[in-house]
């Protein structure tokens, strides 16, 4: 199975909103509610930001939200802050007892 498709980069100014897309197929992302998003700062381990498409773990700011329509999931970061600058990865259950990650999106806060 191929990796989920994410844009390589996204950007926004402080206070703005930015959405990052994650495109799969009807066999993986389109068929699953087990979609999660991870934030990774340079040299650090990934951090869970969204699970089950829309849910936030305790401690994750409500500026982060997730959604899904068809074969596309999205992560929206509202009220951008400098510390949001990081790489973001989507992940979905692959439908064959496996999981598939996206290629990652580098978010730049201008």
> Per rule CB under 8 A, is residue 23 in the interface with other proteins?
no
> Per rule CB under 8 A, is residue 7 in the interface with other proteins?
no
64-69 and 72-77 strand pairing: antiparallel
> Per rule CB under 8 A, is residue 99 in the interface with other proteins?
yes
> Per rule CB under 8 A, is residue 64 in the interface with other proteins?
no
Closest CA to 91 of 46, 45, 34: 34
- Choosing from 12, 75, 102, 107, the residue that interacts with other proteins (CB under 8 A) is 102
Residue 76, beta-bridge partner list: 19, 65
Is the Cβ of residue 82 or residue 101 nearer to other proteins in the bound state?
Answer: 101
Other C-beta atoms closer than 10 Å to the C-beta of 6 total 23
Residues in contact with other proteins, total (CB under 8 A)? 26
């Amino acid at each position: 199975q191929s990796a989920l498709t994410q844009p390589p980069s996204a950007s926004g100014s402080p206070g703005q909103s930015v959405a990052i897309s994650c495109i799969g197929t009807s066999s993986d992302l389109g068929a699953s509610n087990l979609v999660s998003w991870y934030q990774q700062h340079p040299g650090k381990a990934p951090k869970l930001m969204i699970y089950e498409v829309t849910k936030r773990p305790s401690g994750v700011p409500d500026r982060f939200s997730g959604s899904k329509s068809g074969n596309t999931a999205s992560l929206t970061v509202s009220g951008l802050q400098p510390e949001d600058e990081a790489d973001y990865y989507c992940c979905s259950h692959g439908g064959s007892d496996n999981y598939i990650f996206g290629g990652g999106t580098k978010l730049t806060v201008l």
